[in-house]
Structure 1
Amino acid sequence: MIAYIVIYTLGSAILFSLTALTEKPPNVTDYLAWAYWSFAHSMFGIVVGFLVRVWDR
């Protein structure tokens, strides 16, 4: 489960730069936006890890 959390969090943190392609991207120095982005994807990693564990039983 930890692997899913780490992969989704690190991967999404790297892909945050893709928000520059939106109509109104956040500033590059907006660390709060990056933190929200990374936190949300870490929560997604937790849910995916939990669901994979439940499904694998």
Structure 2
Amino acid sequence: MTIQAHIASLEKKHGDLEEELQTILSSPSADDREIAEVKRRKLRLKDEMQRLKANTRH
């Protein structure tokens, strides 16, 4: 898998997590721990995408 393909895959996963987060937030029984976990996963993906993008510029 090329770096660009890997970044694209991470971007898709990030978007999927955003959709999951919106679904959780719209639920009246939203669990704070579940919200925090999805946000952490999104942040990890974002950090990884930024790291990979920075490495491709060098």
What is the deviation of 1:18?
A: 2.8
Name which structure has the greater RCO, CA cutoff 8 Å, separation 6+.
1
What TM-score do you get using the length of structure 1 for normalisation?
0.55
The gaps in structure 1 that reach 5 residues or longer are 1-7
Matches within 5 A, 1:1-57: 12=18, 15=19, 16-19=21-24, 27-28=29-30, 30-57=31-58
Indicate the percent of aligned positions where both proteins have the same amino acid: 8
The gaps in structure 2 that reach 5 residues or longer are 1-13
Q: 1:47 to 1:56 in 2, by over 3 A?
A: same
Letter in 2 for 1:18: T
What TM-score do you get using the length of structure 2 for normalisation?
0.54
Count of residues in Structure 1 that have an aligned counterpart in Structure 2:
40
